[in-house]
Chain A
Amino acid sequence: MGALSFDLLLSRGDFHLKAAFEGAVDGVTALFGPSGAGKSTLLRAIAGLEAAEGPVRFDGALWQGAGQKALPAHKRPVGFVFQNAALFAHLDVAGNLQYAARRAAPRAGPDVAEVVAALELAPLMPRAVGGLSGGERQRVALARALLTRPALMLMDEPLSGLDMKRKAAILPLIAEVPRRFGVPVLYVTHAIDEVTRIADRLIALRDGQIAGSGPMAEMVAQLDLGLGGSRFEAGVVLRATVTGTDAGYQLTRLDLDGQTLVMPAAPVEAGAEVQLRVRARDVMVATVRPEGLSAQNILTATIERIEPEESRAFAEVFLRVAEQPLRARLTRAAVDQLALAPGREVFAVLKAISFDRRVL
């Protein structure tokens, strides 16, 4: 399930999309890239909302191309969540959901009651859509799209207008969609924090072309290697095991290949494997174990290689903690003063770690 392939060509003025992809999109696949890379256009072309040349196939069904008349948008088994939600202003929330439910595809899928329960929409049902907050709007839009019983869910930067708090409330709901409703999600975003929190796979788009694709863990480490992210956001994903919780200090303890990390308590059970994201700019390097430092997470690491940026102040230091990669963004001056060199044992101080709450 969830085999997607396309080879699309589209031109709009100066912008040219030439994107080919073939692979699985089970779980959540992030379609990631900088603004203007063509992410939304590509997503809209897959949905049939934008006319593009070339074939699109999903799970063996040909949606367009190969000399066949393109399937119009309303006949493709996709759900689409728009950036601005695009709820119908002449219907209340319940009416918007009913609109979709009445036109649901003839296949197994959730009914209104299930979706309303899953997305906690019951109190919103009689409300007019004009009075909803941005977060509520997108929850209704997601519910509405799910009710058409799509085979593939397409989401076009649905959280771009929301603040961090509201984003954090909705992201887990989106991450759950594939498991809960059996629908793979293709999720367009330019926000790396959204990608690391919900995506299982990543397709990177740059200048209208696919720059790379693959499972999340492999992709994050090379996000800056021409894949559309900036060095500022580059980092790694670490796998760790939860060992316990300190109820007094409200901390969760984690084991990372024999070394201990602590983080603010998260609702994860002991024994669970989690993904942690550490940005290169949040890692400091010390040649002796630092003392009298507020940072709690200090790991022993080995320097693998150093990449100085000659025209700028910075150097990227690639480290290894047991079998896992770690990166630090230091100044070139610091690298020289500490005499850092490949092979040297150092202490990596992690200033900030963000939890990816999804259990692997």
Chain B
Amino acid sequence: MGPVWLTLQLAAVTTLVLLIVGTPLAWWLSQTRARVKPVIEALTALPLVLPPTVLGFYLLILFSPDAPLGAFWITVTGDSLSFSFTGLVLASCLYSLPFMVQPLQAAFEALGRAPLEAAASLRAGPVDRFFTVVVPLSLRGYLTAIVLSFAHTIGEFGVVLMVGGNIPGRTRVLSIAIYEHVETIQYDQAHLLSAGLLVFSFVVLLLVYVLNRRFPMGAR
């Protein structure tokens, strides 16, 4: 069960990091009228269209101990970024970024100005407004974003293979394990993991669609 546990860990950490990074980014995108907005939006959406191997290739180069980022990481933490869990988290965050940012941005934009203006007129400052009005009214968006990011991270393969390799307990996640089982003609093992992933994914998506109908939206 090593790969399953590792995969869940990776997905959970990635989702958490994305939640913290993606929220302000999505909020900024939903509010800004800056000219660079489309540029940032395009960059954010890039992982949607890019082959994971391309992303993985550049990350591998970036993470290498010879590159500034990889070297810096080694001097600070003593561990290498490439072929490590941390490197996987970083790569997953980039790879799953649009799955966090886009639903959140859509939810924030759908809110409109009314609830924010109402909160401002009730003496709530910007941070207060965000946590007491924007977040509770964007729960649908958050649910979708969290589930998609989590599920997408669980299913990733190409980036992991490029950046993480296949080190048991460190970077050997579910999709890699399945691949290896198939390569070594251990179809029973491959079946077990694949069917598990299939059922898990379906249940998660079902949950999202059921819960989605229950959340309030906007100001009335």
Contact = CB atoms under 8 A, between A and B. Distances in A.
Interface string B89-128: 0000000000000000000000000110111111111101
A90 B123 contact: no
B169 interface: no
Contacts of A47: 121
Interface stretch (A76-84, A178-186, A268-276, A330-338): A76-84
A80 B219 CA distance: 15
Given A82-B118, A132-B220, A137-B220, 14 more contacts: A74-B119, A74-B125, A74-B126, A80-B117, A82-B121, A86-B115, A87-B219, A88-B133, A88-B137, A89-B115, A89-B216, A90-B216, A99-B124, A148-B123
A164 B125 CA distance: 37
A197 interface: no
A36 interface: no
Interface of A: 47-49, 72-75, 78-80, 82, 84-90, 99-100, 103-105, 129-130, 132, 137, 144-145, 148
B186 interface: no
Given A73-B117, A86-B115, A99 B216 contact: no
A208 to B, nearest CB: 21
Given A49-B117, A99-B132, A89 B122 contact: no
B217 interface: yes
Contacts of A148: 121-123
A237 to B, nearest CB: 32
A77 B133 CA distance: 20
Nearest to A73: B120
Given A82-B114, A82-B118, A87 B220 contact: yes
Contacts of B137: 88-90
Give the 6 A-B residue pairs with the shortest CB-CB distance, closest first. A80-B121, A86-B118, A89-B216, A73-B120, A90-B136, A103-B123
B218 interface: yes
Contacts of B122: 74, 99-100, 103, 144-145, 148
Nearest to B216: A89
Contacts of A85: 219-220
Contact of A88 (B120, B125, B219): B219
A127 to B, nearest CB: 12
Given A90-B136, A99-B122, A103-B124, A82 B216 contact: no
Contacts of B114: 82, 84, 86
A104 B121 CA distance: 11
Nearest to B113: A49
A30 B219 CA distance: 26
B121 A130 contact: no
Interface string B76-94: 0000000000000000000
Interface string B127-146: 01100110011010000000
Contacts of B128: 103
Given A87-B219, A89-B218, A90-B137, A72 B118 contact: no
A48 B121 CA distance: 9
A89 B219 contact: yes
B124 A89 contact: no
Contacts of B216: 89-90, 130
